Amino acid sequence: MISLKNVMKNITLITGGVKSGKSSYAVKLAMQYDKPRIFIATAEAFDDEMRKRISRHKQERGVNFKTIEEHIHLSKALKSSTGSICIIDCITVWINNLLYYEKIEEIELFLDTLKEPPYDVVIVSNEVGMGIIPDNKLSRKYADLLGATNQKIAKTADNVIFMVSGIPLYIKKGGITNEFT
């Protein structure tokens, strides 16, 4: 596990497949910080299954975080709260919300906020580049948009962690990548 504590305005992106341990690992990282810890939740409970998922996530983080439910305006949510660390969970659902509500312009506002975040941020997002090409136009647009957004966040981030079966793989640590250039 990397130590983020006492590093100024650090951005960490945690990506990976569905149920790979991304959210749990984000909480572990954020628990290194003193309160106040902030959790920005992007999911909306449209059905019972999603309500159960949201409830499970709330139980996992307990009373250790101030939760802000923000489905669209991540930039405003980051700027309007104070804390030592913030988890944003997750970009995957947020991009879906932006497509649904036709608010794609919010992506650039959020990315601009990440240039100078008000405090350390841990961002959770699914990796979409490892599956088949979707069979319909909307799904392809979603995958393209999420993939492009993840790449922009990763470029800005100090740390990029890829989760596989609950195990973190460090792709970028302290701004240093594992790329061969």
* 1, part of any domain: no
The answer to whether residue 39 scores a pLDDT higher than 70 is: yes
> Tell me, what's the pLDDT at 181?
39
> Tell me, what's the pLDDT at 180?
44
| Cβ proximity of 129 and 174 under 8 Å | no
* 117, part of any domain: yes
Q: Which domain holds residue 100?
A: 11-175
| pLDDT, tens digit, 9 for 90 and up, residues 102-130 | 999 999 999 999 999 999 999 999 998 78
* 129, part of any domain: yes
* 155, part of any domain: yes
The count of domains in the chain is 1
Which one, of 71, 88, 100, lies nearest residue 150 by Cα? 88
Q: How far apart are CA 24 and CA 17, in angstroms?
A: 13
> Tell me, what's the pLDDT at 25?
95
| Cβ proximity of 84 and 119 under 8 Å | yes
* 142, part of any domain: yes
- The more confident residue out of 127 and 4 is 127
Compute the average pLDDT of residues 68-78.
Answer: 95
**Domain of residue 148, CATH code:** 3.40.50.300
Which two tokens mark 61? 């983080």
Query: Which segment of 41-45, 136-140, 174-178 scores lowest on mean pLDDT?
Result: 174-178
* 16, part of any domain: yes
* 181, part of any domain: no
Which one, of 135, 157, 130, lies nearest residue 14 by Cα? 157
> Tell me, what's the pLDDT at 119?
92
Compute the average pLDDT of residues 3-19.
Answer: 78
Q: How far apart are CA 89 and CA 31, in angstroms?
A: 15
Question: Annotated active-site positions, please?
Answer: 57
Query: Which segment of 18-32, 36-50, 52-66, 137-151 scores lowest on mean pLDDT?
Result: 52-66
Residue 9 — pLDDT band, cuts 50, 70, 90? confident
* 180, part of any domain: no
